[in-house]
Amino acid sequence: MTTPSVRPNNPNFSSGPCAKRPGWDAGALANALVGRSHRSKEGRARLKDVIARSRAVLGLPDDYLLGIVPASDTGAVEMALWSILGSRGVDVFAWESFGEGWITDIVKQLKLTDVRSFTADYGRLPDFTQADFTRDVVFTWNGTTSGVRVPNGDWIDDDRLGLTICDATSAVFAMHLPWDKLDVVTYSWQKVLGGEAAHGVLILSPRAVARLESYQPPWPMPKIFRMVKGGKLNASIFEGDTINTPSMLCVEDALDGLIWAESQGGTSGLVARSERNLAAMVEWVARTPWVDFLAEDLATRSCTSICLKIVDPWFEALSPEEQASTAKKMAAYLEAEGAAYDVAPYRDAPPGLRFWGGATVETADLEAAFPWLEAAYDKVKAG
């Protein structure tokens, strides 16, 4: 049993908060507008700059809106669900724990009754051909905890009557999104661009705005979710105002991430970086007999949250508890060796390992981690 000699330069493979961009240090925040009001001329200009650069890097259509909202991706999704749902039936698709969480919101918290839930086990996608686009359709683009992504938007009706609401937090900036198929899209800064946590982004199509201005949900709306005033969208949220106070340190960091994204050629460059990481993982998995992707279908394998399962008959013969503790021991060994941090799977996901392969991760770092994964496996198997 040999111990590898080379460690990744950056062993940060967490699926959120994700690795900072290559070369990042705290100096990137030196000009942050700390101690100043976000509503000052300068503060508002920084927020506007984040909005403008985000729109440009994402290639958002001119008539779509993008705003910075509280409480990260969860805040953005729940703001949308609470503000939009209830005027027609809802179809919701889930295949891992975050999608399951949106079903809970819709069924148990909002208590909507005309809801059809389509679910699939870890590793698979539900049957999207079941979607009825006379209804609102809620889904996640990339299932972060199963590493299964939607391969494309071809299943979404161009002439839909309902709205599509897409949690895209671990997809945007690493996967191409078909904007014309999506009415509400959410993400948080802490994912693909390696930003800081707690700030969310909400994108609205013109049809989503029309819904907001024509439908008033029957339930109380917390201030933090309120984006409509007197039947009109509060447009200032999409122009640099925020509902409550953002961190200007996080704003500066988001700007740094976006400027880096621009230097990589925008979304196309970022997608290429992430796909290179997935390709490296595919190559390693192909030559490593004990490991496989949790995602069963090649077309659905995520290039960001890359989830692996252990397929060795020795491992498969273990009890579920032993499998979970074995996978945890591998992650603990990788961490103790400084070879890979935070690669244990999400608490509700099957035992295995999860590596983030988003745009901020260098392929060479991922490749340097592979021999350590092999060493970790040999060690736990040998007891």
Ligand X SMILES: Cc1ncc(COP(=O)(O)O)c(C=O)c1O
State the residues that interact with ligand X by CB under 6 A: 16, 72-74, 98, 140, 144, 167, 169-170, 188, 190
Measured from the CB atom, is 252 or 342 closer to ligand X?
342
| Least distance from ligand X to the Cβ atom of residue 251, Å | 16
Residue 75 backbone dihedrals phi, psi, to 5 degrees: -60, -45
| Least distance from ligand X to the Cβ atom of residue 193, Å | 13
Q: What is the per-residue DSSP string for 205-260?
A: -HHHHHHHHH---SS---GGG--EETTEE-GGGGTT--SSPPPHHHHHHHHHHHHH
Measured from the CB atom, is 170 or 277 closer to ligand X?
170
Q: What six digits make up the tokens of 90?
A: 């809802």
| Least distance from ligand X to the Cβ atom of residue 136, Å | 18
Closest of 25, 69, 62, 29 to residue 47, by C-alpha: 69
Residue whose C-beta lies closest to ligand X: 144
The CA distance from 329 to 337, in Å, is 12
β-pairing verdict for 228-229 and 232-233: antiparallel
Strand, coil or helix: 81 = helix
| Least distance from ligand X to the Cβ atom of residue 189, Å | 8
| Least distance from ligand X to the Cβ atom of residue 86, Å | 22
Q: What six digits make up the tokens of 245?
A: 């106070």
Measured from the CB atom, is 16 or 351 closer to ligand X?
16
The CA distance from 181 to 68, in Å, is 22
How large is the greatest C-alpha to C-alpha distance in the chain, in angstroms? 69
| Least distance from ligand X to the Cβ atom of residue 6, Å | 30
| Least distance from ligand X to the Cβ atom of residue 145, Å | 7
Measured from the CB atom, is 144 or 164 closer to ligand X?
144
- Report DSSP state, residue 165: E
Closest of 340, 351, 342 to residue 375, by C-alpha: 340
Measured from the CB atom, is 105 or 167 closer to ligand X?
167
Measured from the CB atom, is 8 or 195 closer to ligand X?
195
| Least distance from ligand X to the Cβ atom of residue 138, Å | 12
| Least distance from ligand X to the Cβ atom of residue 283, Å | 25
Measured from the CB atom, is 87 or 117 closer to ligand X?
117
Measured from the CB atom, is 144 or 242 closer to ligand X?
144
| Least distance from ligand X to the Cβ atom of residue 118, Å | 17
Q: What is the per-residue DSSP string for 88-146?
A: S-EEEEESSHHHHHHHHIIIIIS--SSEEEEE--TT----GGG--TTSEEEEESEETTT
Closest of 194, 187, 155 to residue 171, by C-alpha: 187
Whole-angstrom CA distances from 64 to 51, 58, 185, 202, 326 are 12, 11, 10, 10, 47
Measured from the CB atom, is 237 or 380 closer to ligand X?
237
Sequence length of the chain is: 383
Closest of 5, 14, 2, 6 to residue 304, by C-alpha: 14
Measured from the CB atom, is 169 or 300 closer to ligand X?
169
User: Which distant-in-sequence residues (6+ apart) come within 8 Å of 41 by Cβ?
Assistant: none
The CA distance from 161 to 136, in Å, is 8
Rounded to the nearest 10°, the torsion over CA 73, 77, 82, 88 is 180
